[in-house]
Structure 1
């Protein structure tokens, strides 16, 4: 077993990166002849967004020893991600996703080819050379525990070890019901993971399903009771809500004149929340940043192309505009 690397870094993320094929024209996928290849995956979107803001981010995953895997590794490294914990798997392929060209701000139709992907074979063994004591923060989502039992074990292991090491932990449930054996297992698993996190970031509909509570305030109370230090709830165009043990508030959303593609908005919001937390900002400021980045992301084609660099973010925060 290799000895852990003890070089310090800011954030560890893990999950499945997929090759994304975005249609060049509108219409059903079966009628589209040309696509552009990009990157996809909620966990990678957040990793890329944090890297663009100057954080030292490490990415833990598996990709196939195929051209899509090579494409993804080049793309992620070009974004500044440290891929020392990215394994090449010569037995299983890289996951794929095909996405329609959206119209009038509607949610685009997507189709996945990820069953038996390299990332679905993630396991605790893949984390043996990770030194969590050298990191500041772990960001996790509900997607890795959905793709396989071994990836689920890895999720629980990393969150448990991060807690022992004193890292701060953020968790976005990122519901993918079709990947789970049952809704009951999904709810039980994701709530158990959320109980390990400092910051829990569900959408309003996700929070209602996971907790059985109706209002943002009650959903937040549920997760605070489970052990979270802060709960941040996405309210869509209306903005976002936060609650801690001693404060709560709602921050209005950022207006968007032209919604191009809604995919990745929640990941952009997570980039804002995690980056603001690591920057030491207060919760209203963090939510404002999350709203801004989420609003910027929905104005572009692709899952992460709207995520800003630090100079762009500074301009956005000064102007209050997501352009």
Structure 2
């Protein structure tokens, strides 16, 4: 049994926000009642990996307010190590309001995050991180979009994790409205992806970042710049892998899995990332990793909420037992 003092083996960083989800369908201007939850692509993946048994740390800032205390309490209840979560007495916790969409449509979301505590992150906030104990770092394109300080932190985290020999996953998670231009977004995120081992863009994201149309060309773009493997989300069609298997470069495609009912599409990509990263950390083959990513992604969209559908290890084992996992053996 690990001591509470044991540093996390997996680390994620970014912004967690308190989210208010409309209880009924309709425009936000007409909604009177909301349910309180947490939101953040980076925390979704961190929670998903923690539910599957990984010791996961979370690095961020929250305001010294009720929303920040709620986030800390929720993340700790999910098993995250919050030793690197800083209370900021000068800036508030970010908020997000989310409509309740019908028939699986993408819900409208409104953010109130400008000047938030997390947007004031900097490399100084990582001073206490034990990178020597780190096995894996998960990064996304959201922190570098928040502020210059957050961008510096992102570079710092990637460099320190690489120096320590930890593996790195990078999901672009595009937020174009937070960037000054598409060109700045593409240049920055492509360079960060090149420092990563596993790059996980959606097809549309890859097209926007590289200017290329096919998933094969997008994968080659990142492999040529230093990534070890590129895993591309193709929506209901499944996912595509290109990288090194057994010492030689290979590519493969794994078809998607149907969802019995699409309730909430937000968080599907994060569920896919949880599946892929957890499987690769478990020593599974790329084919098995893509299958698990498709499986958890399909599971995530059947539940209302960004991370509520992410399975614990026992549930994942049940799902994998019900659906044959393809292998390379």
> Does structure 2 conserve the Cα–Cα contact (< 8 Å) formed by 1:6 and 1:131?
no
1:94 maps to which residue?
93
1:10 Cα shift? 1.9
2:116 maps to which residue?
117
Deviation sequence 1:36-94 (CA, Å, 0-9, x none): 00010000000000000000000000000011001000000000000000000111100
Distance in 2 (CA, whole Å) between partners of 1:320 and 1:97 is 36
The answer to whether 1:259 aligns with 2:262 is: yes
Deviation sequence 1:106-155 (CA, Å, 0-9, x none): 00000000000000000000000001111100000000000000000000
1:308 maps to which residue?
311
**How do residues 53-68 of structure 1 correspond to structure 2 at under 5 angstroms?**
53-68=52-67
1:148 maps to which residue?
147
Distance in 2 (CA, whole Å) between partners of 1:315 and 1:309 is 10
RMSD, aligned α-carbons: 1.2
Distance in 1 (CA, whole Å) between partners of 2:287 and 2:66 is 43
Distance in 2 (CA, whole Å) between partners of 1:86 and 1:6 is 15
Distance in 2 (CA, whole Å) between partners of 1:280 and 1:9 is 19
1:257 Cα shift? 2.5
State which drifts further: 244-253 or 24-33. Answer: 244-253
1:283 maps to which residue?
286
Distance in 2 (CA, whole Å) between partners of 1:75 and 1:294 is 22
The answer to whether 1:292 aligns with 2:295 is: yes
Distance in 2 (CA, whole Å) between partners of 1:153 and 1:320 is 43
Give the paired residue count. Answer: 317
1:11 maps to which residue?
10
**How do residues 131-142 of structure 1 correspond to structure 2 at under 5 angstroms?**
131-142=130-141
**How do residues 136-285 of structure 1 correspond to structure 2 at under 5 angstroms?**
136-245=135-244, 246-285=249-288
2:77 maps to which residue?
78
1:271 Cα shift? 0.3
Match of 1:213, SS?
coil
Distance in 2 (CA, whole Å) between partners of 1:90 and 1:156 is 25
> Does structure 1 conserve the Cα–Cα contact (< 8 Å) formed by 2:8 and 2:81?
no
Distance in 2 (CA, whole Å) between partners of 1:7 and 1:152 is 28
Q: Which runs of 5+ in 2 are unaligned?
A: 325-329
Distance in 2 (CA, whole Å) between partners of 1:105 and 1:7 is 41
- Compute the TM-score of the two structures, normalised by the length of structure 2: 0.95
After TM superposition, the runs of 4+ consecutive aligned structure 1 residues lying more than 4 A away are none
Deviation sequence 1:200-233 (CA, Å, 0-9, x none): 0000000011111111111000100011111000
Match of 1:174, SS?
coil
